Amino acid sequence: MTLDIAIAPDPDLDAEDAEVAETREWIEALDEVIEVQGPERAQYLLKKLEERGHERALDLPFTANTPYVNTIPRSAQPPYPGDRQLERRIKSLIRWNAMAMVVRANKQHEGLGGHISTFASAATLYQVGMNHFFRGRGDGGFGGDLIYFQGHASPGIYAQAFLEGRLSEERLTRFRLELAPGGGLSSYPHPWLMPEFWEYPTVSMGLGPISAIYQARFNRYLHDRGIADTSGRHVWCFVGDGETDEPESLGAISLAARERLDNLIFVINCNLQRLDGPVRGNGKIIQELETVFRGAGWNVIKVIWGDDWDPLLERDESGLLVKRMNEVVDGQYQKYTVESGDFIRRDFFGKYPELLALVEDLPDKKLERMRRGGHDPEKVYAAYRRAVDHPGQPTVILAKTIKGYGLGEAGEGRNVTHQQKKLNEDELRGFRDRFDIPIPDHRLAEAPFYRPPEDSEEIRYLTERRRALGGYVPSRKVKTAPLAVPERDLYQDFFGGIQRPVSTTMAFVQMLAKLLKDKEIGDHIVPIVPDEARTFGMESLFRQCGIYSSVGQVYEPVDAKMLLYYKEAKDGQILEEGITEAGSMASFTAAGTAYATHGVDMIPFFIFYSMFGFQRIGDLIWAFGDQRGRGFLLGATSGRTTLNGEGLQHEDGHSHVLAATVPNLCAYDPAFAYEIAVIVRDGLRRMYCEREDVFYYVTLCNENYEMPAMPEGAEEGILRGLYKLRPAPELGGRQEAAGGRPRAHLFGSGPLLNGALRAQEILAERYGVAADVWSATSYKELRREALAAERWNLLHPNEEPRVPYVTRVLAGEEGPVVAVSDYMKLVPDQIARWVPGGLFTLGTDGFGRSDTRAALRRFFEVDAEHVVLATLGQLARRGALDPAVPRRAIAELGIDAEKSDPLVT
- For residue 174, the partner it binds in ligand TPP, Mg ion, none, with Cβ less than 5 to 8 A by kind, is none
In angstroms, the CA 165 to CA 725 distance is 59
Which of 97, 269, 573, 587 is in the footprint of ligand TPP by CB under 6 A? Answer: 269
In angstroms, the CA 380 to CA 399 distance is 8
**Which of 541, 702, 698 lies closest to 634, judged by CA?**
698
| Nearer residue to ligand TPP within complex by CB, 204 or 850 | 204
Contact between 203 and ligand TPP per CB under 6 A = yes
Least distance between ligand TPP and beta carbon 238 (Å): 9
- For residue 504, the partner it binds in ligand TPP, Mg ion, none, with Cβ less than 5 to 8 A by kind, is none
- For residue 118, the partner it binds in ligand TPP, Mg ion, none, with Cβ less than 5 to 8 A by kind, is ligand TPP
In angstroms, the CA 473 to CA 628 distance is 19
C-alpha distance from residue 357 to each of 323, 368, 369, 752 (Å): 16, 17, 19, 82
| Nearer residue to Mg ion within complex by CB, 241 or 262 | 241
Segment near ligand TPP (CB under 6 A), from 44-52, 140-148, 239-247, 642-650?
Answer: 239-247
**Which of 249, 241, 403 lies closest to 338, judged by CA?**
403
In angstroms, the CA 386 to CA 132 distance is 13
In angstroms, the CA 505 to CA 673 distance is 9
| Nearer residue to Mg ion within complex by CB, 278 or 306 | 278
Segment near ligand TPP (CB under 6 A), from 7-15, 272-280, 502-510, 568-576?
Answer: 272-280
Q: Which positions from 473 to 492 touch Mg ion by CB under 5 A, shown as an x/- string?
A: --------------------
| Nearer residue to ligand TPP within complex by CB, 144 or 201 | 201
Segment near ligand TPP (CB under 6 A), from 190-198, 271-279, 564-572, 677-685?
Answer: 271-279
**Which of 759, 779, 793 lies closest to 868, judged by CA?**
759
What is the DSSP secondary structure assignment for residue 727, as one 8-state letter? P
- For residue 303, the partner it binds in ligand TPP, Mg ion, none, with Cβ less than 5 to 8 A by kind, is none
| Nearer residue to ligand TPP within complex by CB, 153 or 701 | 153
Q: Which positions from 579 to 618 touch ligand TPP by CB under 6 A, shown as an x/- string?
A: ----------------------------------------
Least distance between ligand TPP and beta carbon 504 (Å): 34
Amino acid at 305: W
In angstroms, the CA 654 to CA 5 distance is 57
CB atoms within 10 A of CB 226: 9
* Residues from 275 through 314 that contact ligand TPP (CB under 6 A): 275, 279
CB atoms within 10 A of CB 200: 28
| Nearer residue to ligand TPP within complex by CB, 246 or 772 | 246
In angstroms, the CA 524 to CA 793 distance is 42
Least distance between Mg ion and beta carbon 258 (Å): 28
CB atoms within 10 A of CB 497: 14
Segment near Mg ion (CB under 5 A), from 264-272, 550-558, 725-733, 889-897?
Answer: 264-272
Least distance between ligand TPP and beta carbon 245 (Å): 8
DSSP conformation letters of 412-463: TT-TTGGG-----HHHHHHHHHHHT----GGGGGG-------TTSHHHHHHH
Which of 66, 204, 415, 463 is in the footprint of ligand TPP by CB under 6 A? Answer: 204
User: How many residues make up the chain in this entry?
Assistant: 905
Contact between 249 and ligand TPP per CB under 6 A = no
| Nearer residue to Mg ion within complex by CB, 144 or 242 | 242
C-alpha distance from residue 308 to each of 368, 373, 429 (Å): 11, 9, 26
- In sequence order, the 6+-apart residues with CB closer than 8 A to the CB of 122 are 150, 153, 156, 238, 269, 271, 374, 401
Q: Which positions from 137 to 156 touch ligand TPP by CB under 6 A, shown as an x/- string?
A: ---------------x----
Least distance between Mg ion and beta carbon 269 (Å): 6
- For residue 845, the partner it binds in ligand TPP, Mg ion, none, with Cβ less than 5 to 8 A by kind, is none
Query: Do 820 and 862 touch, CB atoms closer than 8 A?
Result: yes
Beta bridge partners of 666: 696
Which of 131, 219, 273, 778 is in the footprint of ligand TPP by CB under 6 A? Answer: 273
- For residue 204, the partner it binds in Mg ion, ligand TPP, none, with Cβ less than 5 to 8 A by kind, is ligand TPP
Beta bridge partners of 574: 547
**Which of 771, 656, 770 lies closest to 721, judged by CA?**
656
Contact between 377 and ligand TPP per CB under 6 A = no
Helix (H) or strand (E) holding 728, with range, is none
* Residues from 764 through 793 that contact ligand TPP (CB under 6 A): none
Helix (H) or strand (E) holding 148, with range, is strand 146-148
- For residue 152, the partner it binds in ligand TPP, Mg ion, none, with Cβ less than 5 to 8 A by kind, is ligand TPP
Which of 274, 379, 479, 783 is in the footprint of ligand TPP by CB under 6 A? Answer: 274
- The SS3 assignment for 709 reads coil
* Residues from 405 through 444 that contact ligand TPP (CB under 6 A): 418
Which of 114, 136, 209, 242 is in the footprint of ligand TPP by CB under 6 A? Answer: 242
- For residue 203, the partner it binds in Mg ion, ligand TPP, none, with Cβ less than 5 to 8 A by kind, is ligand TPP
Helix (H) or strand (E) holding 724, with range, is strand 722-726
- The SS3 assignment for 499 reads strand
Count residues near ligand TPP (CB under 6 A). 18
| Nearer residue to ligand TPP within complex by CB, 420 or 503 | 420
C-alpha distance from residue 719 to each of 26, 669, 798 (Å): 78, 11, 31
Contact between 412 and Mg ion per CB under 5 A = no
Pairing of strands 235-240, 146-148: parallel
Least distance between ligand TPP and beta carbon 246 (Å): 6
Which of 143, 189, 240, 635 is in the footprint of ligand TPP by CB under 6 A? Answer: 240
* Residues from 227 through 246 that contact Mg ion (CB under 5 A): 240-242
| Nearer residue to ligand TPP within complex by CB, 279 or 407 | 279
In angstroms, the CA 744 to CA 728 distance is 9
Q: Is omega for the bond preceding 474 within 30 degrees of 0, making it cis?
A: yes
Least distance between ligand TPP and beta carbon 374 (Å): 11
CB atoms within 10 A of CB 88: 15
State the SS3 of 226-237.
CCCCCCCCCEEE
Using CA atoms in the order 412, 417, 423, 429, what is the torsion angle rounded to 10 degrees?
A: 10
Q: Is omega for the bond preceding 902 within 30 degrees of 0, making it cis?
A: no
Contact between 243 and ligand TPP per CB under 6 A = yes
| Nearer residue to ligand TPP within complex by CB, 198 or 491 | 198
Amino acid at 239: V
Pure H helices in 708-800: 715-720, 733-737, 752-767, 779-795
Segment near Mg ion (CB under 5 A), from 217-225, 263-271, 457-465, 862-870?
Answer: 263-271
- For residue 466, the partner it binds in ligand TPP, Mg ion, none, with Cβ less than 5 to 8 A by kind, is none
| Nearer residue to Mg ion within complex by CB, 238 or 614 | 238
CB atoms within 10 A of CB 12: 12
Least distance between ligand TPP and beta carbon 403 (Å): 5
Residue nearest ligand TPP by beta-carbon distance? 240
Which of 263, 271, 299, 573 is in the footprint of Mg ion by CB under 5 A? Answer: 271
Segment near ligand TPP (CB under 6 A), from 241-249, 659-667, 679-687, 872-880?
Answer: 241-249
Give the interface with Mg ion as residue ranges (CB under 5 A).
Answer: 240-242, 271, 273
Give the interface with ligand TPP as residue ranges (CB under 6 A).
Answer: 118, 121, 152, 203-205, 240-243, 269, 271, 273-275, 279, 403, 418
